[in-house]
Structure 1
Amino acid sequence: MEKIEMFVLSVFLASLVIIPFALKTFSPYLWMDILYIADLVRIMVKFVSRRRRRPLFFVLDRFLEQTAAHPDKRFIVFENESYSFMDADRRSNKIANALQASSKYEPGCTVALFMGNEPAYMFTWLALAKLGSPVALLNHNIRSKSLLHCFSCCNAQVLIAAAELKGAVEEVLPSLREQGVSIFLMAKECDTPGIDSLTDQVEKASDSPLPHSLRSHITFKTPAVYIYTSGTTGLPKAAVVNHNRLLIALAVLSSNGVTSDDNLYLNLPLYHTAGFIVGFIGPIETGSTIILRRKFSASQFWDDCRKYNVTVVQYIGEVLRYLCSTPKRDNDKDHKVRLAFGNGVRAEIWREFLHRFGNIEVREFYASTEGNVGFVNYVGKIGAVGRVNFIHRKLFPYTLIKYDTERDEPVRDANGFCIESAKGETGLLVSKITDLAPFVGYAQNEQQTEKKRLRNVLKKGDLYFNSGDLLRIDKDNFIYFQDRVGDTFRWKGENVATTEVADILTLADCIKEANVYGVQIPGHEGRVGMAAVAVKEGAQFDPSKIFSHVVSYLPSYARPRFIRLQNAVEVTGTFKQLKVQLVKEGFDPGCIQDPLYILDDQVKSYTPMTAQIYNSIVTGGMKL
């Protein structure tokens, strides 16, 4: 008996040594997977619990909870000013009371916010949430036709603009007045007829709380914000983010280890999904302090991090590359940043960032504004956007399907169903539309909403969201972003819709047709815009007029950097513009016989492309 007991004890002790070794060898990520799944379950339980609360519980209610629990906790730090949760609550009350007292605002109406990064942006959003108004987050770089389009497509009745954007508002003022729009300027006075100053009214207003009855009409399906995204056709589309989606978004930072002790550095634009959802809504849940900056500055990034004791930073792929491109300093690793959270970083930049700036956990994720599925690289595998597992796939059913990039459509079998991609094979990410993973779509754009719906994917009658992104899953279940499909590319952290740019180019007097695409630049993230254009018969290509035209209609990141003149824009047999060969040929004047031009901001014109300019770009001498 004693020998049996000794044998059992020996086996047990050996197991304590062997099992961890075996797990590390054959399932090295098991423990991280377990922690992630546990986190996923915790988030779902909290979400369901909040969904059951009465009266209904929204993001604003979480903010009010934080204010009641930690009134003096720093919420926003901006330049030399600091605002506690209580300060933010009172200031938003003053804005809300000022608007409510105005005869030009009706509680609950849709309001467009046209401002850059500043605390007033956040206070105004909180104020409008208290008044029960959905808010359209306008890109403060847009002008003219794009501004009018973005304002109108969500049925906004009120525009609130920053003082420095007064000129942009005045450009479209006649059109806005025709529509009966109420316009407020965040300034103490305004002498332009049709625009009312708001700051003076806010200063006089009470900071008393707003009655809950003002937002009693809101349900989880009510739009909370409209965030604009460039799709495959037309001008920017307003993705509808309802209150249910925003409630889910509260978990974006807390599920990645961010706490109330963290200081989060927010330099991405607040009109952007990353800036608003991650940078603003995330800290409302965690109670973290937001270190807000007007815009990103690579040269001042680390100095700010040291000055404000930043512990968490956000990024898009370009941000980390810009940081790695700054001159090296002796104090590069002298900071308290422990976590970088974002998406779009290349593996080589990821490695360089860690090597240069120290032991920072980089959490890469995949998501889209309107999409219904996301992934998080909780393991830290360099280059991956996430890790897939059985539980995640059960909660949010998704798959990768074979995609024909030439035909620009999914590959289907003899029965008309899509074909799933094999492990290690690139495929189009599609995600099943369910009650738990809905797809709301775009405001007043059923055509584009329907284009994102993919039917009869794996069986008759099923319905999936078409992400428009090509991804790949490796043998270890890590998922990697490969490319975008269709007519969208990414530059300077922004999506550029090629047909939107083409439509604007063809508004110019001399251009008959335009084929817009993105070309890669060595050392740059994303793709820079290029257009192959055909000139109207009897007309001449006017470089300076085209420059003025694109500057008037397009934000800087969407302006074609290169223009290629062709006799005619080539199309396929089904009249789709040919892009593959054009993308492959790029902008090398040594390989292209057609006339080539490059946008030159200094001379305010498009100027001829030369071999010297081309070499300067590809060797990194000229920055785009």
Structure 2
Amino acid sequence: MDPVSAAGIAATAAVGYILNGKYQLTKDLRIVRGGLKSRKLFETLAKNEDCSAYNRFEEQCHAQPFGVALVFESTSYTWRDLELASNRMAHWFVAKGIKSGDRIAMMMHNSPLFIITWLALLKIAVVPAFINSQIAGAVLIHSLKVAMAKLFIFDYELAPIVQASVGEIKDLGYDLYTITSKQQVHGIHYSHLSESARQSIEIPTFFGYVEWEHQSTDGFPKSVRKHVDMKDPAALIYTSGTTGFPKAAVMDHGRFNIATSAWAGWIDVAPESKVYITLPLYHSAGSIIGVGQSWMSGSTIILARKFSVTNFWKDCIAYDVTHFQYIGELCRYLVNAPPSPLDKAHKVRVAFGNGMRPDIWAKFQERFNIPTVFEYYTMSEGTGALLNIATSKRDQGAVGFRGPLVRLITPGFKLVKVDFDTEELARDKNGFCVEVGPNEIGELLTLADGKTPNSRYLGYFNQPKLSQAKLVSNAFVKGDIYMRTGDLLYKTKDQYWYFADRAGDTYRWKGENVSTAEIGDNMGRVDGVASCTVYGVSVPGQDGRAGMAAIVLKDSIIQDKAALADFVQRMGAHVAKGLPSYAVPRFIRICEQELETTGTFKNKKVELRKEGFDLDQVKDRMYWWTPQGRYLPFGQAENAEILAGRARL
């Protein structure tokens, strides 16, 4: 080789190495490739009228009918197994008069039946509404009212929750069915009883049974779904939002195709990959990203009924898991578990999810020898995602990396100044939003003008006012449209983006978003409450924020010790019965004076959040939620337990 040419090549390589080190071009290019591929797929599928999410599953059935699609509690299901089962169930729905465009509410735990039911509905172009299996009472009724579905399908294990509200549910026009077989239901009640004892046991009769097992296995042609458009819902997925009751985010077929295609590429999954999912399928992370990527890539899903620290690495080893999905709380539980020979005896090469906190990231990746952590930030109703394919220490802690190539392809991500008391966006003299500088915290806005597949905003089903409230017009130029995420982030000069906190009236605890307005309304119903405001507070060593309620009581209670003790006991019983476990405030503060409000009568929470449960700042009486399921006085001894990491919250 010519010495001059060799020198030129060496110089070019050196420059390339330097530029890649500075701008992370390799990482940037990997993200861009995945994004462009998914966008091209979107356009091709739309052109060919091949939009239905079910068609991606069907393609795998044709490509590998006898390959293993799903493993659940040691039982394997091939792609053909799931196809035939979902055919049977689809015929049952058709026999009940369910037709294209109808909606079916599903309240189910993780199991193959969840996936089979979803597939059955998709193949006949029916929309499932995924109801959170931890809700009850007024929240459940609200969720069903929003969905306006024909049928309500639930696991029999959830029957007591359903029965408690059965009158209101039927008043909404719902027919109720359990997905649990009649044989299994009878077994639950009768298996351990004598013949005489069985006569005195009455099985509830407020529901019917989804008797699908003996239906036809005949399939449904693709023409049944030809009318399905990218903007049609593939599922309604409930999110807490920033105020009030849950909202039903529309997860349309377009976003399903984009997300599953892109994620399959970014996390490098293939038909031989084994992906472990322990997250609930009623959330978009578990269903759309977790299960959905399998329909696109052909990988095998290893599904757990729920997350278990004890079984996690055992399952990863037993099933040769190559990828697993996480939320930050899950990773913290694993890191806090005692060291084990199983810690590095697995074949996992990628962990993907969101909420991995910086304080455990390095420990997690090093202890369990995970080469790649793919952290992402997105929302069920969102119009974009932040992505961080973390393979080095430099990457750890960030929810996203936006190098020059990513910013060129997806420019619509802005961090802007916001008033933390009023939650209003700051505007300059021209009326436009004000972007924050490097390392300055601001609210994330994402482009929602609908001009590209990624910037389509669908909002919430059957809630137009709430959908519109998330949008900001004329944010940076006249005529633009952005979506408010309600989340606070900051970014560095080298374009690593970091999550700071949740703005507004939502905080995250135990992997769930909690609406403070919803909880405050619930607690305000207890006799003796004059006013109540709920907010999230930081707890050392814990992910997210624990709920705390500042309560002003009526004078007759605050001045009487016995009455106060009785109130605390009644409040504990009330929240234990009426709220999901993750939503129960871990602290209550009995305020001696009225809470300060804004001009629009919203409680000012900034100072309350700052004070948290710090006994040096809070002079009011405080109580905390104990493992016994009740509120007890909170003092220095209890505070020391929390600070030492010994308290169970």
Same fold by TM (over 0.5)? yes
Aligned to 1:569: 595
Q: More displaced, 336-345 or 352-361?
A: 352-361
- The equivalent residue for 2:188 is none
1:50 and 2:45 matched? yes
User: What's the secondary structure of 2:360's corresponding residue?
Assistant: helix
1:410 maps to a residue whose letter is: L
Partner of 1:40: 35
Unmatched tracts of structure 2, length 5 or more: 186-202, 558-562
2:260–2:296 contact (8 Å) kept in structure 1: yes
Q: Tell me, in whole angstroms, the C-alpha distance in 1 between the residues paired with 2:319 and 2:373.
A: 20
Tell me whether 1:582 sits opposite 2:582 in the alignment.
no
* Range with greater deviation from structure 2 (182-191 or 412-421): 182-191
Please tell me whether the aligned partners of residues 23 and 30 of structure 1 are also in contact (alpha carbons under 8 angstroms): no
Aligned partner of residue 332 in structure 1, secondary structure: helix
Counterpart residue number, 1:87: 81
Instruction: Give the structure 1 partner of residue 212 of structure 2.
Output: 202
Give identity over the alignment, percent.
37
**Alignment-derived partner of residue 255 in structure 2:** 245
Alpha-carbon distance in structure 1 between the residues aligned to 2:27 and 2:6: 24
Q: Residue 111 of structure 1: SS of its match in structure 2?
A: strand
What is the DSSP-based 3-state SS (H/G/I as helix, E as strand, rest coil) of the residue aligned with 2:310? Answer: coil
1:370–1:471 distance in 2 versus 1, CA, 3 Å? same
Relative to structure 1, the CA distance from residue 23 to residue 472 in structure 2 (aligned partners, 3 Å threshold; closer, same or farther) is farther
Cα 1:240–1:43 change in 2 (3 A) is: closer
Q: After TM superposition, give the deviation of residue 25 of structure 1 in Å.
A: 2.9
Judged with a 3 Å threshold, the aligned counterparts in structure 2 of structure 1 residues 330 and 219 are, in CA distance, closer, same or farther, namely closer
- What CA distance in whole angstroms lies between the structure 2 residues aligned with 1:194 and 1:57? 38
Match of residue 515 from structure 1 = 533
State the one-letter code of the partner of 1:531: A
| Secondary structure of the structure 2 residue equivalent to 1:142 | coil
Change (3 A) 1:610 1:63: same
Give distance in 2, aligned partners of 1:183 and 1:210.
25
CA distance in 1, matches of 2:370, 2:123: 41
Comparing 570-579 with 270-279, greater Cα deviation is found at 570-579
Matched, 1:276 2:276: no
Shift of 1:591: 3.5
What amino acid is aligned across from residue 318 of structure 1 in structure 2? Answer: E
Equivalent residue of 1:249, what SS? helix
Distance 2:19 2:126 in 1: 53
The whole-number CA distance in structure 2 between the counterparts of 1:426 and 1:62 is 40
Q: Give 1:148 shift.
A: 0.9
Match of residue 204, structure 2, among 192, 196, 203: 192
Residue of structure 2 equivalent to 1:409: 424
The 3 A distance-change label for structure 1 pair 214 and 160 is farther
- Deviation, 1:537, is 4.3
Please report how far the alpha carbon of residue 213 of structure 1 lies from its aligned counterpart in structure 2 after TM superposition: 5.6
How far residue 425 of structure 1 moved from its aligned partner, in angstroms, is 2.7
Structure 1 residue 21: Cα displacement: 2.8
Q: TM-score, normalised by structure 2?
A: 0.91
Report the equivalent of 2:17: 24
Name 1:68's counterpart in structure 2: 62
Determine which structure has greater relative contact order: mean sequence separation of CA pairs < 8 Å that are 6+ residues apart, divided by chain length: 2
Report the 3-state secondary structure (helix = DSSP H, G, I; strand = E; otherwise coil) of the residue aligned with 2:389. Answer: coil
Aligned counterpart in structure 2 of residue 418 of structure 1, from 433, 440, 443: 433
- Does residue 383 (structure 1) correspond to residue 378 (structure 2)? The answer is no
Q: How far has the Cα of 1:592 moved from its partner? A: 2.0
Counterpart-to-counterpart distance in 1, 2:611 and 2:35: 46
For 1:214-229, list aligned pairs within 5 A: 214-229=224-239
Question: Partners of 2:163 and 2:637 in 1: how far apart?
Answer: 42
Note the C-alpha offset of 1:598. 1.0
1:454 matched to which residue of 2? 472
**Per-residue deviation, 1:91:** 0.5
Counterpart Cα distance in 2 of 1:153 and 1:467: 22
Matched residue, 2:488: 470
**Of the candidates 103, 111, 131, which is equivalent to residue 138 of structure 1?**
131
1:355 to 363, 366, 373: 366
Shift of 1:343: 1.0
Q: Distance in 1 between matches of 2:260 and 2:489?
A: 26
Report how far residue 107 of structure 1 moved: 4.9
Secondary structure class of the residue paired with 1:77: strand
- 2:634 matches 1:609: yes
Deviates more, 1:533-542 or 1:334-343: 533-542
Shift of 1:565: 0.6
Q: 2:51 touches 2:229 (CA, 8 Å); kept in 1?
A: no
1:182, distance to aligned residue in structure 2 (A): 1.0
**SS of corresponding position for 1:403:** coil
Q: Distance in 2 between matches of 1:537 and 1:448?
A: 37
1:18 CA drift (Å) = 3.0
TM-aligned CA deviation for residue 84 of structure 1: 0.3
Matched residue, 2:71? 77
**Residue 313 (str. 1) matches residue 324 (str. 2):** yes
Find the residue that maps to 1:592 and give its secondary structure: coil
| 3-state secondary structure, aligned to 1:268 | coil
Helix, strand or coil for the counterpart of 1:24? helix
Amino acid at match of 2:215: A
Matched letter for residue 219 of structure 1: D
Contact 1:177 1:194 in 2 (8 A): no
Deviation larger for 25-34 or 373-382: 25-34
Aligned to 1:496: 514
In 2, the alpha carbon distance for the partners of 1:234 and 1:259 equals 41
The one-letter code of the counterpart of 1:241 is: M
Distance 2:317 2:612 in 1: 42
2:264 to 229, 254, 273: 254
Q: Deviations for 1:41-70, whole angstroms, at most 9, x for unmatched residues?
A: 22222221112113x332101111110110
**d(CA) in 1 for partners of 2:360 and 2:457?**
33
3-state DSSP class of the match of 1:156?
coil
Q: Secondary structure at the match of 1:66?
A: helix
2:568 is equivalent to residue 557 of structure 1 = no
Deviation at 1:216, TM superposition (A): 4.9
Q: Is the 8 A contact 1:499 1:516 kept in 2?
A: yes
1:206-234: CA deviations, max 9, x gaps?
11113556545532222221111112211
Q: Is the 8 A contact 1:402 1:420 kept in 2?
A: yes
Give the letter aligned to residue 412 of structure 1.
Answer: R
Alpha-carbon displacement from aligned partner over 1:515-535 (angstroms, at most 9, x marks no partner): 111111111111000000111
Q: Is 26-35 or 76-85 further displaced after alignment?
A: 26-35
Between the aligned partners of 1:125 and 1:591, the Cα distance in structure 2 is 51
In structure 1, stretches of 5+ residues that fail to align are 1-5
Structure 1, residues 93-122: CA drift from partner, whole Å, max 9, x if none? Answer: 11111222235x455321111000000000
State the match for 2:501 in structure 1.
483
Mapping 1:141-152, distance limit 5 Å:
141-152=134-145
Corresponding position of 1:322: 333
